[in-house]
């Protein structure tokens, strides 16, 4: 095998984790100096910060004026769970799963909520289920972008305008990097620590008027934990969507989210963010196109994520290894790069096929990805040399 010289130039920022993701370029702790620490989130200053965060969210994501935007606890998972427990049960459900988080929503709906009239449309890692089979007279639950598979829906065209059911969309690794079809979505959730590189533990829950109507007209059959309750006396608790959070938020994290939103606004908003993510993805796509040992996990080019880029080793000698040896080889790649301090946390998700997962969202610099690719080739050559030595 051809020897590859260890690259001389390393990425300036080696943080390519898919969550929490890299902070915005130029971020420092001083950016959070205006956080009202030690103050109540219900005080005028705290409420103003939370409201500002919601207003900026609406502006940058171009969320329709009649959609509610709430800051909720427990990250994206908490936001999705609030939606599932509060809204499902009024209609039959179709749930889509093509990676680990979608599979988690299947478990919640079928085994925890025990909704009998549920249909599951599943696909293996790297593929989408047949979207044409989904019945939108039923409530539909799906992820827009599969963080652990690198597979996304190409657009919202598969959702009809005249749907009778609600669409509940986990968009945590899509929001701020991909165009979301708001007119096709009734519930959208995401977390701060993905595309904007914010801090963890807070989620966003966005509701269409149709979702609000369901909340005000339907009472689930099961007990509702306090942290999930969004109505009182049959009416939406509007304060949740005006900065009056259900539980105490971290004002430091709120300030960090506002800082990221202001940075995004300075880029030109959503258009600038999507452009950066697409440019980052192109760096990796161009490298994959000329590199024989690696390929995308996502088989269809139209469904490949521009944020959580999942890669598999397709070198024939490695593919000939047993599954556990292939997994060990991929893990060695990630470990070698981490030891070299050029790429942190880029191993495939624990439930996904063995490989690498490189975050290419808007807070990552294209120059850092360009610097990374020679290191990927070097790490592969090192691992292959180890294989030959052990043979």
Beta carbons within 8 Å of 289's beta carbon, 6+ residues apart: none
Assess contact for 86 and 220: CB atoms under 8 A. Answer: yes
Per-residue pLDDT, 2: 64
Q: CA–CA distance from 336 to each of 75, 101, 156, 322, 382 (Å)?
A: 31, 28, 40, 21, 9
Domain layout of the chain by residue ranges = 29-266, 270-390
Compute φ and ψ for 306, nearest 5 degrees.
-95, 10
Strands 167-170 and 145-146, bridge-based pairing:
unpaired
Beta bridge partners of 69: 206
Per-residue pLDDT, 388: 83
Which two structure tokens, joined as six digits, stand for 207?
Answer: 């509701």
Q: What is the pLDDT along the chain (391 residues), one digit of tens a residue?
A: 567 899 999 999 999 999 999 999 999 999 999 999 999 999 999 999 999 999 999 999 999 999 999 999 999 999 999 999 999 999 999 999 999 999 999 999 999 999 999 999 999 999 999 999 999 999 999 999 999 999 999 999 999 999 999 999 999 999 999 999 999 999 999 999 999 999 999 999 999 999 999 999 999 999 999 999 999 999 999 999 999 999 899 999 999 999 999 999 999 999 999 999 999 999 999 999 999 999 999 999 999 999 999 999 999 999 999 999 999 999 999 999 999 999 999 999 999 999 999 999 999 999 999 999 999 999 999 999 998 888 7
3-state secondary structure of 273: helix
Q: What span, in angstroms and rounded, lies between the C-alpha atoms of 109 and 106? A: 5
Helices assigned H by DSSP within 139-219:
209-217
pTM: 0.97
Assess contact for 368 and 8: CB atoms under 8 A. Answer: no
Beta carbons within 8 Å of 16's beta carbon, 6+ residues apart: 22, 343, 344, 345, 346, 358, 359, 364, 372
Q: What DSSP string describes 98-143?
A: SSHHHHHHHHIIIIIS--SSEEEEE--TT----GGG--TTSEEEEE
Q: What span, in angstroms and rounded, lies between the C-alpha atoms of 276 and 365? A: 8
Per-residue pLDDT, 160: 98
Compute φ and ψ for 339, nearest 5 degrees.
-65, -30
Options 3.90.1150.10, 3.40.190.170, 3.10.129.10, 3.40.50.2000; CATH of 270-390: 3.90.1150.10
Per-residue pLDDT, 128: 98
Q: What span, in angstroms and rounded, lies between the C-alpha atoms of 331 and 334? A: 5
Angle between helices 251-266 and 270-289 (to 10 degrees): 80
Give the HSE-up count for residue 321: Cα atoms under 13 Å, Cβ half-sphere: 18
3-state secondary structure of 23: coil
Q: What span, in angstroms and rounded, lies between the C-alpha atoms of 390 and 380? A: 15
Beta strands in the chain (DSSP E): 68-73, 93-97, 118-122, 139-143, 145-146, 151-152, 167-170, 187-191, 202-207, 231-232, 235-236, 294-296, 308-313, 356-359
Burial readout 264-297 (b: 16 or more C-beta within 10 A, e: otherwise): beebebbebbbebbebbbebbbebbeebebbbbb
Q: Which residue has the tokens 């959580």?
A: 308
CATH number of 29-266: 3.40.640.10
Strands 235-236 and 231-232, bridge-based pairing:
antiparallel
Angle made by CA atoms 122, 21, 32, in degrees to the nearest 5 = 140
Q: Which residue has the tokens 């049960």?
A: 89
Per-residue pLDDT, 233: 96
């Amino acid at each position: 095998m051809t020897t590859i010289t260890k690259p001389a130039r390393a990425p300036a920022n080696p943080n390519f984790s898919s969550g929490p993701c890299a902070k915005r370029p130029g971020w420092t702790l001083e950016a959070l100096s205006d956080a009202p620490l030690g103050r109540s989130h219900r005080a005028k200053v705290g409420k103003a910060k939370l409201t500002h965060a919601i207003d900026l969210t609406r502006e940058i994501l171009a969320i329709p004026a009649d959609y509610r935007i709430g800051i909720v606890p427990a990250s994206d998972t908490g936001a999705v769970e609030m939606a599932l427990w509060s809204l499902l049960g009024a209609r039959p459900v179709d749930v889509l799963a093509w990676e680990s988080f979608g599979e988690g929503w299947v478990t919640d709906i079928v085994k925890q909520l025990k909704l009998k009239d549920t249909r599951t449309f599943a696909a293996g890692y790297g593929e989408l289920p047949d979207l044409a089979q989904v019945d939108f007279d039923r409530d539909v639950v799906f992820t827009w972008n599969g963080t652990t598979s690198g597979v996304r829906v190409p657009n919202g065209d598969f959702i009809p305008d005249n749907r009778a059911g609600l669409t509940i969309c986990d968009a945590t690794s899509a929001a701020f990097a991909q165009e979301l079809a708001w007119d096709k979505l009734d519930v959208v959730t995401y977390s701060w620590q993905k595309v904007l590189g914010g801090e963890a533990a807070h989620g966003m829950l966005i509701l269409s008027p149709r979702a609000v109507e369901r909340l005000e007209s339907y009472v689930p059959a099961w007990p509702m934990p306090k942290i999930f309750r969004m109505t009182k006396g049959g009416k939406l608790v509007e304060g949740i969507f005006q900065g009056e959070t259900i539980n105490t938020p971290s004002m430091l994290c709120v300030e960090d989210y506002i800082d990221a939103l202001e940075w995004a606004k300075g880029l030109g908003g959503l258009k600038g963010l999507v452009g950066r993510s697409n440019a980052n993805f192109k760096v990796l796509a161009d490298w994959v196109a000329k590199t024989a040992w690696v390929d995308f996990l996502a088989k269809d080019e139209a469904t490949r994520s521009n944020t959580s880029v999942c890669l598999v080793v397709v070198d024939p000698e490695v593919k000939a290894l047993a599954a556990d040896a292939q997994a060990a080889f991929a893990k060695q790649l990630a470990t070698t790069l981490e030891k070299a301090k050029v790429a942190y946390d880029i191993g495939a998700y624990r439930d996904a096929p063995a490989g690498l997962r490189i975050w290419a969202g808007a807070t990552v610099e294209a120059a850092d990805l360009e610097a990374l690719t020679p290191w990927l080739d070097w790490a592969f050559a090192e691992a292959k040399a180890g294989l030959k030595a052990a043979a």
